[in-house]
Copies of this chain bind each other. A is one copy, B any other.
Amino acid sequence: MSFSPLIRQLIDALRILPGVGQKTAQRMALHLLERDRSGGLRLAQALSQAMEGVGYCRECRALSEEELCPQCADPRREDGLLCVVEGPLDVFAIEQTGFRGRYFVLKGHLSPLDGLGPEAIGIPELLTRIEHGAFEEVIIATNPTVEGEATAHYIAQILGPKCLTVTRIAHGVPLGGELELVDGGTLTHALAGRKPIAL
């Protein structure tokens, strides 16, 4: 059996979603066709509106449909504090901590093997942003991976001569869980970064 052309086209199109293979795409297509056509139409509209309407924030390079994203447009945030992250979901995660400074969103991390150098991930735009801003501290919150650390190190180096405080988020044991399950590298960082207990 072959599905009819429109259904086949829908199944193929659904496969561009991350984590969706042939079987999942079939299930999604038939679910929408048999149970939720109005939802399918809403999804179609939301997709085309977002694909055509969402651009990048002029200041922080986060995805935004306005020229300035909600974080950059907010006048009540601290203008002296800049947090540099690898992607838009990281902004979401850091917002949940109550951080109220400004952001800069890189396009991932440095990865010379994939041909991603400083220009590809937006370092020149970061430098422009810092020059035009009045930042006192730049917090580098790239991921705690090898590539993220290398990117953090690179940024710290080029920001060195600019009379800014450049900091890196702390490494250590995460809250919850058990110490025996924590990997050696993390534990080494946790020991090296130990602090007196405030009483």
Contacts and interface: CB of A to CB of B under 8 A. Distances in A.
Interface of A: 1-7, 9-10, 12-14, 16-19, 24, 26-34, 36-37, 39-54, 63-66, 69-71, 87-89, 91-92, 94-96, 107
Given A32-B47, A43-B13, A46-B9, A54 B4 contact: yes
Contact of A13 (B5, B29, B39): B39
7 contacts: A6-B46, A10-B47, A17-B43, A26-B92, A30-B88, A34-B107, A40-B51
A38 B83 CA distance: 31
A6 B44 contact: no
B54 A48 contact: no
Contacts of A14: 43, 46
Given A24-B19, A95-B1, A29 B50 contact: yes
Contacts of A27: 18-19, 89
A91 B7 CA distance: 14
Contacts of A32: 16-17, 47, 50-51
Contacts of A45: 13, 44, 48
A51 B41 contact: yes
Contacts of A2: 70
Contacts of A94: 1
Nearest to A92: B1
